[in-house]
Amino acid sequence: MTRARQDRLLGLLVRDGDWATAATLADAVGVTPRSIRSYVTAVNARVAPGLAIESGPLGYRAGSEAPAALRTAGTDAGTPRDRLHTLVRALLDAPDGIDVFEFAERLHVSPATLDADLARVRGLLGGTELTLERSASTARLRGTEMAQRRLLSRLAHDEMDAGSFDLAALRRTLGEDSVGAAAFGPFKSDLVAELGSMGYFVNEIGISDVVMHIAIAADRVAQDRGLEGGPDDGRPALQEIAALLDRLARRHLGVDLGAGDLQHLATLVLTRVVAPGDEAPADQARARLDPGIEAAVRDVVGTASAEFLVDIAHEDFILRLALHVQNLQHRAREQAWSRNPLTRSLKSTYPMIFEVAVFVASRLQERLGIPLPDDEIAYIAMHVGGRLERSRRADHLLTATIVCPGYYDLHELLRSSVDRSLGQAIEVVGVETRVDPDWASIDTDLVLTTIDPVTPADRIVKIQPFLTDADIERVQAAAGRIRRSRRLARLRTELERYFAPSAFVRGLEEAATGGADGVIRTLGATLIAQGVIDEDYVRRAIERERLSSTAFTDALAVPHAIGMTATRTSIAIGIADPSIPWGDGRVQVVALVAFSETDREAFQTVFEQFVEVFSERDSVQRIVRRATDFGGFLDELVAVIDG
């Protein structure tokens, strides 16, 4: 547990890239500030004399050696996780089992410690179709080769949870005698290049996961543990990719994969990392598609579009998502889920898009019976986000007026430079060439001026007649401030309508003994007492939480039910100090949100901007520390919003 918390601490600092105090980090990790200081010392010891975590007057931040410290996270043979992985690897490599006493001596631990590790192995086997048998001093694993490979995949992902895909970490899982990382760089490059030449789009996020399975297959085949071949399904695409994998495995890995492994790996490639290229007509793509899946996706997308007022009901989007869902169904059948390293950032940065994806996933689960973990929901969120980005309206641009006294065509040159450098952020709608413009009559969002204004203002940005990089940065910063202030102003207006003193709970620690369910029930009771929701809403909020954690930031969870069935929109707030466990992380603020049918548009404003406020550590700490009652909470929240 200590090593896992060290890794979490380091991961938080690497992800945020900024200074953080010991108290803030302690809340995020769920320990005391004193423990944080000891963790920093331990992490830095991994890369001594380098520096993985820097210390200073502002607290701690990730140092230059942080990535190296993450990569070495599992190399200490004394840690429980490393012992567990070593033990599982030994069990997988020994069909006849291992001698418990000899293995304990090899690891320099007592037989009692190894017995405890064996108990942890049993816990790891849940849902794997594997069993651990113990007979006298012998322990052995029983189960199919495919089930054993899934366990290896699980261990490899566990090794890499603290960082990105790392072949060195994979080799630690498979053993030092497995195929080295050097062989897989050229293998992957050739695989991606040849798939592209075959007319496929390649999903680079998923390709590393497939390379991991190829590494596992190569390792097992080298031990004469290949998969048995199944019936050939006759698909030309499958046969073509299988031939490609066979050729590359021989060339780069020196391994002769059998028919069973080639069929399995080719299926993984087809269902995880490739999609038809642009030159593939829609009819050809649809020919590969199950009509039942397309119909289900079409219905679900239409419902989501109406439920959230988002413009996603487009034919190209439906077709691409349906192909993805069909592949997803194959992965579910094989229990071969695809990891997504962008899951956490998608959830915290685009909570509304992720919520639409959760809605789509839940309806598809009902229609098609596909269980969807967070990483798979994140892939759906990427489809949704891509569609919304394509259909984003031009009225999201800020308007601007250029003030540039006329001298030949200087003002036209400046306008051209602004359009070229800032056209995606602002739209120039006017140019003032007078040396004494009527400043009060200029009503655009921004004023870009080459002369000093009569009265300075946040929306007025002084620029040079010939636009410089510094000018561009100042304009972008001003545009960002204006957008943020408008978003938060809308949020303040909405929030003041939805809070009530009776729906504020300070001290969630007792409720948290029942986990997230207990907290949701505690906050739900305050809204039930107001007549806003009923017990069914609370039950559905708990079901929604089990689909995907609503901890959208390191400090905030926003549980809610799918469906806007409240009698009126209301928010129950709970404060926890210290932080409480929630999903895979910890939070300090829980906002149970109940939306009514009449507030669909408000849903987007409240949801996204509320999460944005609580994504800033300093703001969270200010609210948590000072919000001793409802009045204090509202005052601090408004103060944070107003900046």
Here the CATH number for the domain that contains residue 302 is 1.10.1790
Claim to verify: residue 246 and residue 266 sit in the same structural domain: yes
Claim to verify: residue 585 and residue 504 sit in the same structural domain: yes
Tell me which residue has tokens 């009559």: 441
Q: What is the pLDDT of residue 470?
A: 92
Does 74 score more than 60 pLDDT?
no
Claim to verify: residue 235 and residue 350 sit in the same structural domain: no
Domain boundary among 12, 42, 71: 71
Q: What is the pLDDT of residue 161?
A: 54
Claim to verify: residue 511 and residue 467 sit in the same structural domain: no
* 243-289 tens-digit pLDDT: 999 999 888 888 888 888 898 888 888 877 766 555 444 555 566 77
- Please name the helix (run of DSSP H) or strand (run of DSSP E) that holds residue 572, with its range, or none: strand 570-582
Q: What is the pLDDT of residue 231?
A: 66
Claim to verify: residue 590 and residue 618 sit in the same structural domain: yes
What is the token pair recorded at 431?
């140019």
> 571-597: buried (b, 16+ CB within 10 Å) or exposed (e) per residue?
bbbbbbbebbebeebbbbbbbbbbbbe
Percent of the chain with pLDDT over 90: 22
pLDDT band for position 75 (cuts 50, 70, 90): very low
Domain boundary among 379, 412, 432: 379
Q: What is the pLDDT of residue 468?
A: 92
* 482-503 tens-digit pLDDT: 888 887 777 777 777 888 889 9
Count of the separate structural domains present in the chain: 5
Q: What is the pLDDT of residue 395?
A: 47
Q: What is the pLDDT of residue 28?
A: 81
Q: What's the average model confidence in pLDDT over 550-557?
A: 89
Q: What's the average model confidence in pLDDT over 476-482?
A: 90
Least confident of 150-154, 277-281, 291-295, 621-625: 277-281
Q: What is the pLDDT of residue 230?
A: 67
Which residue range(s) make up the domain with 203?
181-276
Please indicate, yes or no, if residue 121 is contained in any of the structural domains.
no
Claim to verify: residue 259 and residue 364 sit in the same structural domain: no
Claim to verify: residue 545 and residue 513 sit in the same structural domain: yes
Q: What is the pLDDT of residue 446?
A: 94
d(CA 352, CA 345): 13
Q: What is the pLDDT of residue 285?
A: 58
* 410-444 tens-digit pLDDT: 888 999 999 898 887 888 999 999 888 989 899 99
- Please name the helix (run of DSSP H) or strand (run of DSSP E) that holds residue 89, with its range, or none: helix 80-93
Q: Hey, which residues does 200 pair with through a beta bridge? A: 276
Looking at per-residue confidence, does 578 or 353 come out higher?
Answer: 353
Q: Which residues lie closer than 8 Å to 414 by C-beta, 6 or more apart? A: 402, 404, 450, 463, 465, 466, 467
Least confident of 203-212, 499-508, 584-593: 203-212
Q: Which residues lie closer than 8 Å to 71 by C-beta, 6 or more apart? A: 163, 166, 168, 169
**At CA 24, angle to CA 18 and CA 29, rounded to 5?**
100
Highest mean pLDDT among 158-162, 194-198, 207-211: 194-198
pLDDT band for position 223 (cuts 50, 70, 90): confident
Please indicate, yes or no, if residue 211 is contained in any of the structural domains.
yes
Q: What's the average model confidence in pLDDT over 279-300?
A: 75
Q: What is the pLDDT of residue 154?
A: 78
* Among 358, 384, 361, 386, residue whose Cα is nearest residue 371: 361
* Among 441, 415, 440, 439, residue whose Cα is nearest residue 429: 415
Instruction: Tell how strand 504-506 and strand 570-582 pair up.
Output: parallel
Claim to verify: residue 637 and residue 504 sit in the same structural domain: yes
Q: What is the pLDDT of residue 590?
A: 94
Please indicate, yes or no, if residue 97 is contained in any of the structural domains.
no
pLDDT band for position 13 (cuts 50, 70, 90): confident
Least confident of 150-159, 183-192, 320-329, 411-420: 150-159
pLDDT band for position 641 (cuts 50, 70, 90): confident
The CATH number given to whatever domain includes residue 457 is 3.40.50.2300
What is the token pair recorded at 332?
């579910």
Least confident of 93-102, 148-157, 255-264, 334-343: 334-343
Claim to verify: residue 263 and residue 350 sit in the same structural domain: no
- DSSP 3-state of 461: strand
Looking at per-residue confidence, does 4 or 451 come out higher?
Answer: 451
* 156-168 tens-digit pLDDT: 776 665 445 555 6
Please indicate, yes or no, if residue 175 is contained in any of the structural domains.
no
Claim to verify: residue 529 and residue 618 sit in the same structural domain: yes
**Residue 154 neighbours by CB distance under 10 Å:** 17
Domain boundary among 347, 379, 411: 379
Claim to verify: residue 287 and residue 269 sit in the same structural domain: no
Q: What is the pLDDT of residue 163?
A: 46
Does 170 score more than 80 pLDDT?
no
Question: Chain-wide mean pLDDT for the chain?
Answer: 83
pLDDT band for position 122 (cuts 50, 70, 90): confident
What is the 8-class DSSP label of residue 59? E
Q: What's the average model confidence in pLDDT over 582-603?
A: 86
Claim to verify: residue 291 and residue 266 sit in the same structural domain: no
Please indicate, yes or no, if residue 457 is contained in any of the structural domains.
yes
Please indicate, yes or no, if residue 524 is contained in any of the structural domains.
yes
Q: What is the pLDDT of residue 616?
A: 79
Q: What's the average model confidence in pLDDT over 593-597?
A: 88
Task: Report the 3 state secondary structure along 575-614.
Answer: EEEEEEEECCEEEEEEEEEECEHHHHHHHHHHHHHHHHHC
Does 76 score more than 50 pLDDT?
no
First to last CA, the chain: 38
Distances (CA, A) of 385 to 151, 347, 355, 356, 375: 33, 12, 11, 10, 15
* 509-543 tens-digit pLDDT: 888 888 999 999 999 999 999 999 999 999 999 99
Highest mean pLDDT among 95-99, 355-359, 388-392, 594-598: 355-359
Least confident of 125-134, 195-204, 420-429, 444-453: 195-204
Please indicate, yes or no, if residue 141 is contained in any of the structural domains.
no
d(CA 547, CA 562): 11
Q: What would the DSSP string read from start to end of 215-271?
A: HHHHHHHHTT-PPPP------HHHHHHHHHHHHHIIIII-----HHHHHHHHHHHHH
Q: What is the pLDDT of residue 456?
A: 86
Please indicate, yes or no, if residue 109 is contained in any of the structural domains.
no
